[in-house]
Amino acid sequence: MKRDFDVVIVGGGVSGCALLWTLSQYTDLKKIALVEREKNLAKVSSNAKANSQTIHDGAIETNYTAQKARKVKFAAEKIRRYALNKNLQNKVIFEMQKMAIGVGDKECAFITKRHEEFQEIYPGLTFFDKAKLKEIEPKIILEEHGLDRPDNVVGSGFESYWCGMNFELLSENFVEEAMALNSSNHVFFNFKVGRIEPCMDEWAVISTEGDEIYAKFVLVNAGSYSLPLAQSMGYGLDLGCLPVAGSFYFVPNLLRGKVYTVQNPKLPFAALHGDPDVWIKGKTRLGPTALAMPKLERHKTSCLRGISWELIKMDCNTDVASIVFDLFTERDIRNYVFKNMVFELPYIGKRKFLKDARKIIPSLSLSDLQYAAGFGEVRPQVLDRTKKKLELGERKIVTHKGVTFNMTPSPGATSCLENALKDAKEITQYLGAHLDLERFYEELSPEELG
């Protein structure tokens, strides 16, 4: 077995796989290993069952400011181009309609104003009035008896867009391509990293079974477990984690495309949306819900047996307690948390969810709704103990010692190539290797070349 590598990537989700491909395609590094705890790639957040399968480019995500939208647009463009360049249409990437809708006068005014502002960022972004919506996405207008819902509804979006993605298959494609590029690459499955220790001028990456491999640079993309691994080495001690699980309900194919709703600005998580499933044909996912739980991953074990002791170790301190307490003092957040707890309950949960889901599909009936058991995952939201606040989005712990840790809550899958580029810059600089930045941009984001 090969044991010495230039780079070892810990974690075979979409972030780790994207980095393996980026290093193989655009650098002169020859010996790269990917280690994954499971026996296959993308079995956690990047799995087809886990997420909303959306390339979040900011056009319809009403929780993104214009500034954030400009940033994620470039990240989204990179995976979109990757998939189109590799001819992965209708296997990995899917084209469909997408829109953000406002329901009622206040929300309609919001969508109208947002549309005007965002048109400049997204050429071709189209405004839909109620009549047009009835034509292109009838179920968001029609009530049970075929009459139009009484409130005004407007939308902003695209009638056709490459915006659906199976991130599990994308992960597999990255690795296939990386292996074809470089025969010295190696993927280790069933390798759960227990420790990363300095060893001469390298790092020893040691599995819980005692296997060891060595690298000059270690990049940890272990999802929820990146922070516990960092803290076990004395890094990232100023951070904590608030795991927020997201579940879905299935409905039959009632929507033709993605339908997103207006965000309550006081809430840290995206408002309810509808996403036609790109994996299970004939179903649409509604969700995700947002349930805080003491687990770093959702489906490993059930109930209290699944409590993550790594999390308790990270979060048992007064800073984290005070951040969570502050969040709970906000009435909207408190109500939202309780409502989302109820969504998970048998019998009553479905009924409560139906009320919210009818904002998107007013004719929806109880029999249309099915709790998507075994779907969804945990969003490991980062808590900044110094700033005493919940951070939205990704976070990186750079040690400048040849080991870096990424935490990648949503939209981490969309940003996988953007993050891989940042990592590739850091790794090549540290190792004195070459990164063909110009070719990266030419192939994946020519707009950024100016």
Ligand X SMILES: Cc1cc2nc3c(=O)[nH]c(=O)nc-3n(C[C@H](O)[C@H](O)[C@H](O)COP(=O)(O)OP(=O)(O)OC[C@H]3O[C@@H](n4cnc5c(N)ncnc54)[C@H](O)[C@@H]3O)c2cc1C
Residue 142 CB, nearest distance to ligand X (Å)? 27
Nearer to ligand X, 38 or 148 (CB): 38
Nearer CB in complex with ligand X: 278/369: 278
Cα 75 to the chain's mean position, in Å?
12
Query: Which pair of structure tokens corresponds to residue 156?
Result: 């902003």
Nearest distance from residue 110's CB to ligand X, in Å?
A: 22
Q: Token pair for residue 240?
A: 């904590």
Which residues contact ligand X by CB under 6 A?
Answer: 10-16, 35-38, 42-46, 50-54, 56, 167, 192-193, 221-223, 225, 246, 288, 376-379, 408-414
Residue 6's Cβ-count burial label (10 Å; 0-12, 13-18, 19+) is: buried
| Minimum CB distance to ligand X smaller for 118 or for 191 | 191
Q: Return the DSSP state at 270.
A: P
- Rg of the chain, C-alpha, whole Å: 22
Q: How far is the CB of 138 from ligand X (least distance, A)?
A: 24
Q: Which residue's CB is nearer to ligand X, number 25 or number 45?
A: 45
Question: In the complex with ligand X, which residue's Cβ is closer, 50 or 154?
Answer: 50
Q: How many CB atoms lie within 10 A of CB 345?
A: 11
| Least distance from ligand X to the Cβ atom of residue 241, Å | 13
Tell me how far apart the alpha carbons of residues 52 and 42 are, in angstroms, rounded to a whole number.
15
Rounded CA gap, 370 and 248, in Å? 9
Rounded least distance, CB 48 to ligand X, Å: 10
Strands 4-10, 32-35: pairing kind: parallel
| Residue 203 or 362 with smaller CB distance to ligand X | 203
Q: CB of residue 429 vs ligand X: minimum separation in angstroms? A: 22
Given a contact cutoff of 8 angstroms between Cβ atoms, the answer to whether 382 and 395 are in contact is yes
User: 388 and 327 in contact (C-beta within 8 Å)?
Assistant: no
Cis peptide before 346 (omega within 30 of 0): no
Query: What does the block give as tokens for 152?
Result: 């005004």
